[in-house]
Chains A and B, each alone.
Chain A
Amino acid sequence: MNAAELRGVSYVYSKNTPFCKVAVNNIDIAFEEKIVTGIIGHTGSGKSTVSQMLNGLLKPSEGVVLVEDKDIWSEPKKIRNVRFAVGLVFQYPEYQLFEETVYKDIAYGPKNMGLSESEIDERVRMAASLVGITEDMFDKSPFDLSGGWKRRVAIAGVMAMRPKILILDEPAAGLDPRGRDEILSRIVEYRRSTDSTVIMISHSMEDMAVYCEKILVMSDSKPFMYGTPAEVFSKSAELESVGLAVPQVTKLMTELKARGYHVRTDIYTVAQAKAEIARLVKEGAVC
């Protein structure tokens, strides 16, 4: 089963004005359930529009959006329930924090769901521990935290709603390398521990290669390619034709091969490259 699906969906911004712009054009996309899917594409390729349509913040100009095989716009009055089922973390989510304490801010979503006090408490604690927030931080003001921690609080705020599908728009943008790895691996951890689906938008091929099971490449308001990281990154020429690049390690391996070393070129993470080069050294092909 697919976790979410777009069928024949188009979206036009500022319709009937001089600023009219087609963001996505008659697209069909299916997001498989219980995996981490990555969406890559250039600025303006329609990634963010897709993510906002999935949780009902934008209503498609044409076509249907299905979440768990149900048209989310069949009952427009109940669209809030869709937003609880499909959690969306925007780009730079730390700018949405507003409560006095970290605890209260994480509790905002569950509170809006109308859950009981004990249920809210349980969810806040779960979400906090998932992103690495300890209990002694609960009473701090979120505005006193550093950027990276603010981001964690904001992500926890969405995780606390325990959405079946969690969508994140550039969750690691602007973080240092360690912060990136930490946040991304915690998102994968969320997926595993709650048995949910994660959709992640990113510009970083390296991150995608490590953390995603499937990758959707978007270009020019349309899906361009879909497959496992190995499948997608093996088509480097096609990626380059739409202005995207394969991970740097893949480039390195291709270059090594071109210089006469017998290495695999379907390598897209540093760990794989390390193993491959170690094999090469062991076999004595390099002196």
Chain B
Amino acid sequence: MLKDITLGQYFPGNSFLHRMDPRMKLILCVVYIVLLFVAKGITSFALIVLFTAGIILASGIQFRTIFKSLKPLIFILIFTTILNLFWNAGEDGTVLLKLGRLTIYLEGVIRALLMSLRIILLMAGTTVILMYTTSPISLTDAIEQLFAPLNKIKIPVHTFAMMMTMALRFIPTLLEETQKIINAQKARGADFESGNLIARAKALVPILIPLFISQFRRAEELATAMECRSYRGGEGRTRMTVLHFSSRDYIAVLAVALLFAGILLLNRYLPFYSI
């Protein structure tokens, strides 16, 4: 059950996206997010949908997996849709429906749809570009290198990157361990599904206590293991894999640049119901 959470999980593979330089992926991912907010009309959104579908295909990740990762968004989506549905288009809006004092405009419906689409694309695009096709290690590697200039103003970039690497590295382990403890307590008849809120919260104690204890133990063991190998932070440390930009990365830059240009053009000349 916990294993089904796919958010932030790496799917090993050998696709175009998998082999891109993680630094470039990170930069392009930021550009992609900016683009989502630059896009205005139905036409520019359609272009981004096409682009996103393209990168999903290029990543070799199944659409089903992506839909599954969108599940946790359902409440935000419903909330956004309802809020935007009653958006007041003003005098020149096309009235679709009047419910007492509430009026639903065609513009409101489109706005609601586009807003939800924006959230879906934000999630789907970034997870495919960063989470699913980039291993956590290379991701933090990229972050460390992109933020390296901050070292000049005495921010310990390496330490932060190491902390992040470890946190990411242990998410699957933590989930696995949680599942194990849940199973062990279930085998002793623990009941997490029935009872009121207080009873359910209490039922979590047998999971949380062993989990905390094992995490502290793990942290201590890890720290000892690192010290045994003379870990002293980033100074003078060399890397096993040095990142290089390749033609693949320049192709990706070109694709995103074209997308950017396309959106700007569509926004300007074919804005069709812009929000």
Binding site for B on A (CB under 8 A): 14, 16-18, 52, 55, 57, 80, 83-84, 87-90, 93, 95-98, 108-109, 112-113, 143, 157-158, 161
Binding site for A on B (CB under 8 A): 3, 6, 11-13, 62, 64-65, 180-181, 183-191, 205-206, 209-210, 213-214
Residue of A14, A17, A57 near B187 (CB, 8 A) is: A57
CA distance A233 to B62 in the complex (A): 47
Closest to A88 in B: B187
Whether the Cβ atoms of B210 and A97 lie closer than 8 Å is: yes
- Chain A residues contacting B12 (CB-CB under 8 Å) are 18
Whether the Cβ atoms of A98 and B184 lie closer than 8 Å is: no
Once A16-B64, A17-B65, A108-B206 are accepted as A-B contacts, the answer to whether A95 and B181 lie under 8 Å apart by CB is yes
- Chain A residues contacting B188 (CB-CB under 8 Å) are 83, 96, 108-109, 112, 157-158, 161
- Chain B residues contacting A96 (CB-CB under 8 Å) are 181, 184-185, 188, 206, 210
Q: From residue B183, how far is it (CB to closest CB) to chain A in Å?
A: 5
- Chain B residues contacting A87 (CB-CB under 8 Å) are 187
- Chain A residues contacting B189 (CB-CB under 8 Å) are 80, 83-84, 109, 112-113, 161
Closest to B180 in A: A90
Closest to B11 in A: A18
Whether the Cβ atoms of B214 and A112 lie closer than 8 Å is: no
CA distance A57 to B11 in the complex (A): 27
Whether the Cβ atoms of A98 and B210 lie closer than 8 Å is: yes
Q: From residue A199, how far is it (CB to closest CB) to chain B in Å?
A: 14
Closest CB pairs A-B (n = 4): A112-B189, A98-B209, A96-B184, A109-B188
- Chain A residues contacting B210 (CB-CB under 8 Å) are 95-98
Residue of B6, B184, B213 near A90 (CB, 8 A) is: B184
CA distance A95 to B185 in the complex (A): 11
Whether the Cβ atoms of A158 and B190 lie closer than 8 Å is: no
Residue of B184, B206, B209 near A93 (CB, 8 A) is: B184
Closest to A92 in B: B180
Closest to B4 in A: A14
